[in-house]
Amino acid sequence: MPISKIKTSSITADAASINLNIDANTLFLDVANNRVGVNTTSPSEFLHVSSSTETSVRIGTTVASG
């Protein structure tokens, strides 16, 4: 019998939809539409970052001090 659904406290995967939901909507993969949602389960773009308090994206590196 194939596995049709995986659910733990932090990861949910449903083989019927092939979507992957990690840590209660922190990261959502919408495989059918090739979209990734951060803090949303309905991403409307390739990468959709949502916040209820503010919108911010940080991309960068950490410089080590010595």
pLDDT on residue 17: 65
State the Cα–Cα distance between residues 48 and 41, nearest whole angstrom.
Answer: 10
- What was the pLDDT predicted at 15? 63
pLDDT given at position 59 = 72
pLDDT mean values, one per 10 residues, the chain (66 residues): 66 70 81 87 89 71 69
How far is the CA of 23 from the CAs of 27, 38, 40, in angstroms? 7, 11, 11
Ramachandran sector of residue 65 (left: φ over 0; alpha: ψ -120 to 50; beta: rest): beta
Separation in Å, CA 5 to CA 19, 56, 66: 11, 33, 48
DSSP 38: E
